[in-house]
Amino acid sequence: MKINRIGYIVLLICSLSFAIGLKARLSSITLIVAILMPIISLIIFIITQRKITVDIPNKAITIQKRTELKGNILITNASNIPFTHIRLVGLLPDDNGKEISERRIIMSISPRKKVKINAGITFDYRGEYSLRVDYIDLYDIFGIFHRRRKIDKEINIKVVPRVFNINSAPESSITSDTNPNPLLITSDDRDELSSIREYRDGDLLRSVHWKLSAKKDDLIVKVLDGQRSTESAIIMDLNSYYDDINSNLKATDAVIESALTICNNLLTQGQNCLTIWYDIKNDIIAEQFATPDTGFAQVFDTLALTPIWDDSINMLNLIASSANELNMRNSIYIITPKFSNDLNEAITHLYSMSRADINLLCIDNSGEDILAIKNMYNDTNVNVWDIKSDKIKQSLDFAIYEYNKR
C-alpha cells in the first residue's frame, strides 16, 4: 500500500540519519533492522502468497425472479502466516443482497483460516446478470510489497419471470353463489354470439347481456350459435413509459409475467395461443405460436428475457401490422403499462372489425384512469383488467372472477 511504502522510506531515512549522525550501536541496529525487515517480509510473501486461493463456481445458472441465488465465494489461507490486507475486485453483490456492481472487498485472513463472502442475492427483475471475480490483490504483512493475481471466474445468471397459477378466485371474493374454481375464460369457453333477443322464462341468467339490458331497461339475452374457437392472441407493450429504469423494469416484467401466465393457462385449457411483440434485436414484429401439443416451454424460453424497447413503438402500428392474424382470433389480450390514444384507436378498430373478445390489461394505472378507460368501452366487447405489478396473481384472479360474474 502506498502509505506503508512511504512510511517505510521515512523509517529508512531516519535510521540512516541516526546511524551516521549518532554513530551509536543502537542506531546501527535500527538501520540493519530497517534494511532486513522488507527483505524478510518479501521472502515470506513470495513463499506464502500462493497459499491464498479463491474458489467461485465458474458456471451458468438459471433462477426465477425473487429467488435467492445461493452460494459463497471462498478465500482460503493455507499458510501459517497471516495476511492482513487482501483486496477482492469484481462484480459482486452489495451488503443488502439487492444489486451486483463493481466492488472492492477488503479483508484479512488468519493462518489456516477461510473467509466466506455470501454470494446470495435476490433479483427483483428478470434479465441476464454476472457475478464475477476479476482479480485479487495480495500484500505482505507490512503492506510494502504487492501482487495482483487474475482470477477471471464468473457465474452467468439468467433470471427468468414467474408464471402464476390463476385457476382460483380470490378468497375474499368467494360467496355462496361463486364458482370456487373459475377458469381463465375466453370466447372458447362460451359459444360465439350470433344475435340478441328478449328474455324468456327458462333462460339462464348468465346468458343475459347485462350492459345492453341496463341501457334498454329490459332483459336482453345473448343468443349463441354453437360454434367454438380455440384461437387466442396476446399482444405485449414493452415501451419505456417512465423516467427511471426501475419503474420501467417493474412494469415490463409485469407485462411479460401476465402474458406468460395467461398463455400457460390457455394452453392448459386446450387453447392455441399467439403471442405478438416487437423484436428490437431483429427490428421486426415477432410472433410465437403455441398449441397444447407444442407446449409452453418454447414460448417461455423466447419471451422470458425479451428486452424493453429502447425506442418508442407505436402500438397502433404494431396491432395494425398484425391485423390479419388478429382477425382470426376469438380472444385477444392486450397488455400495456400505459393507455394511449393510439392504443384506443387500435382497440376500436379491433372490436369494430371482429367479434373477438378483447381483454385490455392495464399495468399499474390509477383507479381513476381504470374507471375512465372502462367507461370508454361501455356496451362493447372490450373488458378492462386492472393489474398491479406487485400483485399480479391476485390481480388476474380478481379480474377473471369479475369477468365470470358478468
The per-residue pLDDT for range 373-403, each reduced to its tens digit, is 999 998 888 999 999 999 999 999 998 888 7
Of 363, 371, 366, 360, which is closest to residue 388 (Cα–Cα)? 363
| Confidence at residue 227, expressed as pLDDT on a 0 to 100 scale | 40
| Confidence at residue 69, expressed as pLDDT on a 0 to 100 scale | 85
Domains present along the chain, CATH in parentheses: 2-48 (no CATH), 50-160 (2.60.40.10), 171-192+227-405 (3.40.50.410)
Name which residue leads in pLDDT, 162 or 120: 162
**pLDDT of 266 over the 50 cut:** yes
Contact 361, 335 (CB under 8 A): yes
Convert 304-325 to b/e letters by CB count within 10 Å (16 or more is b): bebebbeeebebbebbeebeee
3-state secondary structure of 115: strand
Convert 263-301 to b/e letters by CB count within 10 Å (16 or more is b): bbbbbebebbbbbbbbebeeeebbebebeeeeebeebbe
List % helix, strand, coil for the chain (3-state, nearest 5).
35, 30, 35
Question: What pLDDT digit, counting tens, does each position of 192-220 carry?
Answer: 455 566 765 545 565 677 777 777 777 87
Backbone angles phi, psi at 94, to 5 degrees: -75, 175
Rounded Cα distance between 182 and 190, Å, is 13
Scan for cell 379480474, then name that residue.
399
366, three cell numbers: 390509477
Please give the helix or strand (H or E) that residue 216 lies within, else none: helix 210-216
Question: pTM for the whole thing?
Answer: 0.76
